[in-house]
Amino acid sequence: MPREAEPSLNEKQFIVQALGEKLRLDGREFDQYRPLELTFGDQYGVANVTLGKTRVLAKVSAEVTVPYVDRPLDGVFTIATELGPMASPAFEVGRPTETEVLLARLLEKTVRRSGALDTESLCLVAGQKCWSVRVDVHVLAHDGNLIDASCFAVVAALRHFRKPDTSIASGQLTVYTPAEREPVPLSWLHSPFCVTWSFFGDDGETALLDATWAEEQVRVSSCTVSLNRHGEICQIAKLGGVPVEAVALLQCTAVALTKAKEFSTFLDGKLAEDAKRRNKGGFMAELSSENDR
Amino acid sequence: MPLDTSAYSLALLRVDGRRWNELRRIHAQIRTQAAADGSSYLEIGHTKVMCVVTGPSEPGSRRGAIGSTGGGVGGGAVGGGAAQSKGAEVAVSIVIAGFSSVDRKRTARGDKRILELQSTISNALAASLHTHLFPHSAINISLHVLSQDGSLLAALINAATLACVDAGIPMTDYVAACTAGSTSTYAANDEAADPLLDLNHQEEQELPGLTVATLGGSDRVAVLVCESRVQVSRLEGMLAVGVDGCKQVREILDRVVREKGRRMVQEGTVEKGVGLNDMDVD
Amino acid sequence: MATETERLYVLPGDAIDEPLVPRHKKQPLRLGPGLRHIPPSAIVPTVAGQLVVEPRKNSMWMEYNGGRYVPAQNDLVIGQVQRSAAELYLVNLAAHTASATLPQLAFEGATKKTRPQLAQGALVYARVVLANRHMDAELECVSAATGKAEGLGPLTGGMAFDVSLGLARRLLMARSRDEGGVEVLELLGAEGLAFETAVGRNGRVWVGSDSPKTIVLVGRALRETDEGRLDVEQQRKLVKRLVREMR
């Protein structure tokens, strides 16, 4: 019978005691992230993000469906999260835990409600046909800070994704295969990133970035700020917990902005790298009749 | 869309005729339900909510549900089950009446937005209630939304605080909440935008805003929720106005409690006992 | 290992060649963890790993870095008290292992009146006395023979780190340097750090010290040794680097 891996009293006390002496278990600075890595899959729209031992896989898929009746000009955009027992013994199949609901809501608010994806561009025929874009977020390993890692994976996957090209001639919709026409990227407006602060101590006076699972289990409160690199807040969520000084929250937001800018540059670099890799030899290589055999 | 903003810049009055730093009328009552351990009714403008608290009592069968937080240390840790926590579990349930908003909509049972509201209120109160005094027990807070006109989360938090006071659950201080916004949308990069206090539904739809809850008269923020796009530079002004608004709300809540206490002493419902001596009942 | 000549990697269900099985005149053949006897004469590995044969003791077993801890008799483990029942504590050994029982009287000098009070979440260093497939494991914190604790008992303060089962086993070997290839704890001690450890076969290492800095350092050294599968030379470098960073 798997059980929630709750830390022992010794661990709880030690983590707090060590933080009091400005020590983290893995020797990081308080505002330092674990090494962030991003790899794209062979297909478009697959992003595999590892943040320390936390690992999240996001996969984007698209299909043509009928738009919602009340929004005939908008496409459909959904984000589905999956937290199974694979990620941690604390999660069960089928029953969404509070962690999962809050994660889904945060991703929804950060990516969907902030208008990162232009849903109007997904409309094909008003009221009749539209693209339905779906992001599946799978948490493969949980070692804390799922929110930041998942958000980064979702944004990376969506920006990497290419949907099949379409055309409409005399009311007839044609969807082209990748061989016929090069797939097209989504109409992307801005890239929001989540930065989560964890607070420790009786008054929440110690603030950490990128808490590990052990640290998350002893924190007294947390605050997630989503920002893009233009300095726009997309969402702030400090959902209860021990109260924290308002001034400290403002400082956290300022630091979060620099982190979001770093994320943004990192993602741009990775996307460019991947585009280069895919475009090996360019057009001439495609025309050439030589192959590996 | 920016009807509100343009009108505001002319007369510095908002759609409902308020100035930037004015709260709407807050009307509150406690002990509205005779059968409950604690109850309250709260109106902020046209937003009307009711709250009923039962407990601390023996926990029911519904354990580990979403929106319930093991108190004490587990306050902020998501997924911290009640299994190992020492304090009482704070379980919140919210019912939004079908007739509460303009378009009559039935809310689904597992609506994530409501689950999030529940968990927020539960986490916020668990951190300021002295839950460690009631081990292995549950405090059930059920909230009913009768009418919605913006600032819903703030109204719910205030109502829950009042009902907990009425139920006599020891707590460090009032958790008072209100909303704050900013004139001009995120797109208009208007540096001279004014912060606004206490948004109604129409303003909430059009303008960026946030909900903030503070503990008592301090500047310490228990809940901060922002769901709209806004320039980071605008945050400081909004937060300052919001925290200030929370202090005003706290005074109002405090007045309601004292008033009710005074009346109860007068009516002879309760003795003016030892505990009430240090509460200056005038 | 000093005695063994070669190590064979086997997969679950592989056939083990007849000549490999040690044949001793007097002693019966002893099978260690990871091997199973299927009558009449087949011996089949049940896990993937290295097959170790010890001809002198007429025994063979598997060395593997398994993911899940299964209690076995005489294992030293670090458990976490889950709750206390009338006469015993329920102790959690690992997330996927059924909880073990620890009688409240199985401590040094414990009587009905003077038994230790362990809070929920407290750590204990204990020995597995009874482990079989169909029952919860039973633990003790006192040697039944001598009535002494012999180092077992509640662990106070300090910090518990999770390591792989393989490293925990190597750390527990009598000559961990020669047989297990881990010297990291000795090296840290040689650097002048004062700390004490308790290694649990269930993949937990408890480190106690007066200085949190030392505990963090030991924890990092263990984790990096484990994750990087470092050999003795690399461990030496790691310890040098960590100690330098800390100062």
* Segment B31-70, tens digit of pLDDT: 998 888 999 999 999 999 999 999 788 876 554 455 555 4
Residue B120: how many other CB atoms lie within 10 Å: 26
Q: Residue B109 is encoded by which pair of tokens? A: 């049972």
Question: Helix (H, G, I), strand (E, B), or coil: what is residue B94?
Answer: strand
Residue B274 has pLDDT above 60, yes or no: no
| Residue C160 to residue A8, Cβ atoms within 8 A | yes
What DSSP assignment string belongs to C133-185? TTS--EEESS-TTT---TT-EEE-SSEEEE--HHHHHHHHSTTIIIII---HH
- Helix/strand/coil for C109: coil
Q: What is the mean pLDDT of chain A?
A: 89
Assigned domain for B152 exists:
yes
Task: Give the SS3 label for residue A170.
Answer: coil
What pLDDT is attached to residue A57?
A: 95
| pLDDT value for B78 | 35
In angstroms, the CA B79 to CA B85 distance is: 12
CATH homologous superfamily of A24-276 equals GHMP Kinase, N-terminal domain (3.30.230.70)
pLDDT in tens, C162-177: 998 888 888 888 777 7
- For chain A, what is the radius of gyration of the CA atoms? 21
For B72, the domain range is: 13-271
Tokens of B198: 């206490």
Name the band, by pLDDT with cuts 50, 70 and 90, for residue A282: low
Please list, in sequence order, all residues whose beta carbon lies within 8 angstroms of the beta carbon of residue B35, skipping any fewer than 6 positions away.
none
When pLDDT is averaged across residues B119-136 and rounded to a whole number, the result is 91
- Partners of B223 on chain A (C-beta within 8 Å) are 238-240
Whichever domain contains B55, its CATH number is 3.30.230.70
Looking at the predicted structure, is the pLDDT value of residue B76 above 60?
Answer: no
A17 in C contact zone (CB under 8 Å): yes
Lowest average pLDDT, out of A218-222, A278-282, B111-115, goes to A278-282
Q: What is the pLDDT of residue A288?
A: 66
Residue A4's pLDDT is 60
A-interface mutation test, from B68, B86, B116, most A Cβ less than 10 A away: B116
Q: What is the value of ipTM here, to two decimals? A: 0.88
Rounded CA-CA distance C91/C153 in Å is 13
Is B17 part of a structural domain of the chain? yes
Which among A7, A18, A89 has CB closest to C216? A18
Which chain B residues are closer than 8 Å to A231 by Cβ?
Answer: 231-233
Which residue from B minimizes the CA distance to A104?
B112
The alpha-carbon gap from C167 to the nearest alpha carbon of chain A, in Å, equals 19
> Using one digit for the tens of pLDDT, what is the confidence trace for C46-69?
888 888 888 888 888 888 877 788
**Amino acid B77: pLDDT:** 35
Predicted confidence (pLDDT) at residue A1 exceeds the cutoff of 70: no
Number of folded domains that form chain B: 1
Q: Any alpha helices (H) in chain A, and if so which ranges?
A: 9-20, 98-107, 146-160, 213-218, 246-278, 282-287
pLDDT for the residue C2: 41
pLDDT score of A37: 94
Predicted confidence (pLDDT) per residue in C104-148, tens digit: 988 888 888 888 888 888 999 999 998 888 888 999 988 878 878
pLDDT reported for residue B74: 36
Question: What's the rounded mean pLDDT across residues C63-80?
Answer: 85
Residue A35 sits at the chain C interface (C-beta within 8 Å): no
Domains of chain C: 2-63 (2.40.50.100), 76-155 (2.40.50.140), 159-246 (3.30.1370.10)
Q: Which residues in chain A have their CB less than 8 angstroms from residue B221's CB?
A: 238, 243-246, 249
CB contact under 8 A, A25 and C119: no
Q: Which chains contact C through at least 3 pairs of Cβ atoms less than 8 Å apart? A: A
Instruction: Name the residue with higher pLDDT: B11 or B112.
Output: B112
Q: Which pLDDT belongs to residue C38?
A: 84
- Whether the pLDDT of residue A66 is over 60: the answer is yes
pLDDT of residue A132: 94
CA angle (A9 as vertex; A7, A10 as ends), nearest 5: 95
CA distance linking residue A253 with residue A248, whole number of Å: 9
Answer whether residue A208 shows pLDDT above 50.
yes
pTM score, whole prediction: 0.88
- What does the block give as tokens for A215? 């640290």
CA dist., res. A278 & res. C72, Å (int): 52
Which residues does chain B have within 8 Å of residue A108's beta carbon, measured at their own beta carbons? 112
Between C10 and B85, the higher pLDDT residue: C10
Residue C145, pLDDT score: 81
Question: What confidence score (pLDDT) does residue A169 get?
Answer: 86
pLDDT number for residue C51:
86
How many helices, marked H, and strands, marked E, lie in chain C?
4, 15
CA distance A150 to B54: 38
- Chain A contact present for B171, CB below 8 A: no
**For residue C205, which amino acid is it?**
V
State the burial class of residue A168 (Cβ atoms within 10 Å of its Cβ: 0-12, 13-18, 19+): exposed
Indicate whether B188 belongs to any domain.
yes
Q: What pLDDT is stored for residue C32 in this prediction?
A: 81
Can you tell me the distance from the alpha carbon of A24 to that of C216, in angstroms, rounded to the nearest whole number? Answer: 8
Q: Which residues of B touch A6 (CB under 8 A)?
A: 80-81, 83-84
CA proximity to A198, closest of A138, A148, A262, A264: A148
Evaluate if residue B125 carries a pLDDT over 80: yes
The pLDDT of residue C79 is: 92
Write the pLDDT tens digit of every residue in A128-174. Answer: 899 999 999 999 999 989 999 999 999 999 999 999 999 988 888 89
